[in-house]
Amino acid sequence: MKVVKFLSFYYETTCIAWWGVFFAWARTLLRVFRFSDFFLLLDSSDLLNNFSLLVADQDRDYRTRYQDLARTGRYQVHMVGSGHEAFEIAGDQSFHLTIVDDRVPEMGGIETIRLLMGRTPILPCVLVVQNPTKERRMEALGAGAVTMITKPFDLEMLHVTVDRIIEKCYPSVKSFGSS
């Protein structure tokens, strides 16, 4: 009888321990990825109509260029004027791509990307710079940026860059750039 009780106790504690490990693992994943990002990873076929961009740029002229992306109907563009605003709105909403100007107020573009990557490591970020250098490119890539765009840029180059990032980061979106 004592052996049965011991085996029963051993079985119960082992199961509880494994469930504890499982829930700790799941809790860690939920901290790293927001819940909405799991659905994004599983099926991103609806991104053709629901792709959301977060753009942090203080320059009003360039904001109109980014808004031209929204006019295509493929993107929802959310504009902010500072790095702090970008970090705050990224905590409240889910985005598929972030474009950050290097000279955003309050904190620079590199620091904004570092903070965004700390919050959502799978979020692709693009740094926009006026005077690119090799050191700045290495610093941007080290912070987590996927690429760098040089100002001034034309709208066609912006479309091509964003489309390529979408195709690489969300593989189920097929021939997005060709539409």
Question: What whole-number distance in Å separates Cα of residue 6 and Cα of residue 140?
Answer: 58
Question: What whole-number distance in Å separates Cα of residue 84 and Cα of residue 11?
Answer: 51
Domain count, the chain: 2
Give the domain CATH number at 130.
3.40.50.2300
pLDDT in tens, 127-154: 999 988 999 999 999 999 999 999 988 8
Amino acid identity for residue 20 in this structure: G
Three-state SS for 19-77 is: HHHHHHHHHHHHHHCCHHHHHHHHCCCCHHHHEEEEEECCCHHHHHHHHHHHHCCCEEE
Structural domain contains residue 109: yes
Structural domain contains residue 175: no
Whether residues 106 and 144 fall in one domain: yes
| Number of Cβ atoms within 10 Å of the Cβ of 102 | 20
Whether residues 8 and 96 fall in one domain: no
User: Which strand (E) or helix (H) includes residue 109?
Assistant: helix 109-119
Q: Two tokens at 93?
A: 């909403």
- The residue that leads in pLDDT, 176 or 99, is 99
- The residue that leads in pLDDT, 64 or 38, is 64
Matching residue, tokens 């808004």: 67
Determine the length of the chain. Answer: 179
Hey, is 150 helix, strand or coil? strand
- The residue that leads in pLDDT, 134 or 10, is 134
Beta bridge partner(s), residue 79: 55
pLDDT score, position 116: 93
Average pLDDT over residues 82-96: 92
Model confidence at 42: pLDDT above 70: no
Whether residues 15 and 92 fall in one domain: no
Model confidence at 11: pLDDT above 70: no
DSSP 82: S
Structural domain contains residue 131: yes
pLDDT score, position 120: 87
Structural domain contains residue 176: no
Structural domain contains residue 120: yes
102 contact partners, CB below 8 Å, separation of at least 6:
108, 109, 110, 127, 128, 129, 130, 136
Whether residues 75 and 159 fall in one domain: yes
| Global pTM value | 0.70
Average pLDDT over residues 99-128: 92
Structural domain contains residue 124: yes
Whether residues 50 and 109 fall in one domain: yes
Whether residues 97 and 156 fall in one domain: yes
Whether residues 58 and 9 fall in one domain: no
Give percent of the chain above pLDDT 70. Answer: 68
Average pLDDT over residues 96-100: 94
**To 10 degrees, the CA torsion angle through 133, 135, 141, 144?**
-110
Q: Model confidence at 122, in pLDDT bands (50, 70, 90)?
A: confident
Look up the domain containing 69 and give its range. 37-169
